[in-house]
A and B are shown apart, each in its own frame.
Chain A
Amino acid sequence: MRQIINQKEESNSNCDSMNTGIQKFIKSADARLTKSLASRFCMLLLSAFFITQAFAQPAGHLVKGKVVDAAGKAMANVSIWTKTVGASISKPDGTFEIKNVPDGAVIRFTHVGYQPVETKVEPGKYSLNVVMKETVSELADVVVNTGLYKRPVATFTGASSIISGTELKTINPTNVIQALVAAEPALRLVENNTMGSDPNNLPVIQLRGQNNLPTGLSGQGTSEMSKAVYEGDIMSTYLSNPNQPLLILDGFQTTLQRINDMDINLIERVTILKDAAATAAYGSKAANGVIVIETKQPASSLLRVNYSVNFTTQVADLSSYDMMNASELLEAQRIKGVYNSESNYTDIGLKQWYDYRMRNVLSGVNTDWMAQPIRSGFGTNHSLSLTGGNGSALRFSLSASYMNNVGVMKGSNRENFSVNNNISYLGRNLKITNATTITSGLSNNTSWGSFRSYVQQFPYLKLTDSLGNINKILEPNSGQLGFLVGDPGGVLTNVMYNSTLNVKDYSNYLGFTNNLQLDYTLTNAFHLRGALGITTQLPASEQYFPADHTSFVNSGGSTITSLGSYSLVRGKNNTVDGKFNLDYNKQIKQHAFYVSVGISAQQSSSYSISRSVTGSPTDNVNDLGMLNGYNSSLKPNSVYSETRNLSYFVSGTYTYAKRYTVEGTYNQSGSSQFGTNNRTAPFWSMGASWLADREHFFKPNKVISGLRFFANLGLTGNQNFGPYTYPVYQYNMTDDNRLQLGSLVNGYANPNLKWQQTKKYSFGSTMSFLKGKLNVSGSFFLDQTDNLILPLSVAPSTGFVSYSDNLGSTESRGYEMSIGANIIRNSAKNIFWNISVNAGHASTIIKSLSPAVEAINKSYDLVGTDGKAQTKALPRYQVGQSMSTIWAVRSLGIDPANGYEMFQKLDGSKTYVWDANDKQPIKDGNAFLKGSLMSNFTYKAFTLNLAMGYQLGAYTYNQTLVDKIENVNILVNNASVRVLNDRWKQPGDMVMFKALTDGSITNATSRFVQQNNFLDASSISFAYNFPRNLSWVRKLHLSTPRIAITQNNVFRIGTIKMERGTGYPFARSFSFGLSTNF
Chain B
Amino acid sequence: MLNKVPGKRLLAYSVVAVVALSITGCSKWLNVPPKDKVPQDALFTTEQGFIDALNGVYLNMAKSPSTGLTAGFYSNDMTMGLMSVLGYDYDVASNSTIPNANLYNPAYLYDYTNPTLQAETVNLWKGFYYNIANLNNIITQIDSKKDVFVSDNFQRVKGEAIALRAFHHFDVIRLYGMPPETAGTTPAIPYVTKFDILTTPLSSVNDALNLCINDLREASSMLAQTDTSALVHADANLFKAYTQNHLNYWAVKGLMARVFLYQGKLDSANYYASQVIGCGKFPLITKNVASSSNPMRDRTFYQELLFALYTKSIKANVLTNYQPGSGLPLYLTPAGLTRVYGTPSADAVDWRKSSWFDNPGNYMVPSKLFQDANTKYEWQNVLPLIRVSEMYYITSECANRVGDVVKGVSYLNQVRNARGLSPINNTITTDSLGKAITREYQKEFITEGQTFFYYKRLNLDLRTASGYPLTPPAGAYVFPMPDLEKEYRR
Contact = CB atoms under 8 A, between A and B. Distances in A.
- Are A and B co-members of a single complex? yes
Interface string B176-199: 000000000000011010011111
A671 B30 contact: yes
Given A582-B19, A728-B40, A798-B133, A641 B34 contact: yes
B5 interface: yes
A739 to B, nearest CB: 5
B38 A679 contact: no
A480 interface: no
A599 B238 contact: no
B487 to A, nearest CB: 8
Interface stretch (B82-90, B308-316, B327-335): B308-316
Given A646-B26, A735-B62, A794-B488, A640 B11 contact: no
A513 interface: no
B36 interface: yes
Contacts of B199: 794-795, 797-798
Interface stretch (B51-59, B355-363, B431-439, B458-466): B51-59
A738 B15 contact: no
A797 B1 contact: no
Nearest to A750: B197
A740 B9 CA distance: 66
Residue from B56, B125, B192, B245 with most neighbouring chain A CB atoms (10 Å): B56
Contacts of A582: 12, 15-16, 19
A1075 B54 CA distance: 70
Contact of A737 (B35, B38, B58): B58
B23 interface: yes
Interface in A738-752: 738-746, 748
A748 to B, nearest CB: 5
Residue from A522, A642, A748 with most neighbouring chain B CB atoms (10 Å): A522
A739 B126 CA distance: 27
B126 A801 contact: yes
Interface in A55-76: none
B27 A726 contact: no
A343 interface: no
Interface in B101-118: none
Interface in B289-328: 310-313
B482 interface: yes
Contacts of B16: 582, 597
A644 interface: yes
A638 interface: yes
Interface in B45-85: 49, 51-60, 62-63
A435 B196 CA distance: 51
Contacts of A646: 23, 26, 29-30
B53 A795 contact: no
A1024 interface: no
A674 to B, nearest CB: 8
B60 A744 contact: yes
A327 B11 CA distance: 86
A829 B485 CA distance: 82
A1068 B310 CA distance: 66
A599 B57 contact: no
Given A524-B3, A729-B53, A800-B197, A642 B32 contact: yes
A644 to B, nearest CB: 5
Contact of A640 (B31, B36, B200, B488): B36
A852 to B, nearest CB: 11
A526 B12 contact: yes
Contact of A726 (B40, B55, B137): B40
A676 interface: yes
A739 B238 contact: yes
A644 B32 CA distance: 7
Contacts of A643: 32
A794 B35 contact: no
A736 B380 CA distance: 13
Given A670-B26, A735-B311, A795 B55 contact: no
Nearest to B52: A743
B57 A742 contact: yes
Given A680-B27, A745-B40, A738 B34 contact: no
Contacts of B482: 796
Given A526-B8, A744-B134, A794-B488, A672 B30 contact: yes
Contacts of A523: 3-5, 8-9, 12
Contacts of B26: 646, 670
Given A523-B4, A742-B60, A796 B39 contact: no
B19 A728 contact: no
B129 A799 contact: yes
A628 B58 CA distance: 37
B19 A648 contact: yes
Given A522-B11, A523-B5, A742-B56, A800 B30 contact: no
B130 interface: yes
A590 to B, nearest CB: 16
A582 B11 CA distance: 11
Contacts of A743: 38, 43, 49, 52-53, 55-56
B122 interface: yes
A528 B36 contact: no
B52 A741 contact: yes
B345 interface: no
Contacts of A346: none
B8 A740 contact: no
A723 interface: yes
A978 to B, nearest CB: 43
A726 B31 CA distance: 10
A742 B310 CA distance: 13
Given A648-B23, A743-B56, 9 more contacts: A523-B4, A582-B12, A597-B19, A644-B30, A646-B23, A735-B312, A743-B49, A743-B52, A795-B484
List 3 tightest A-B contacts by C-beta distance, closest first.
A799-B133, A742-B56, A742-B55
21 contacts: A522-B11, A580-B19, A582-B15, A598-B19, A640-B36, A641-B35, A674-B30, A726-B33, A727-B39, A727-B137, A728-B37, A729-B56, A735-B63, A738-B242, A741-B55, A742-B56, A742-B58, A743-B43, A743-B52, A797-B200, A798-B199
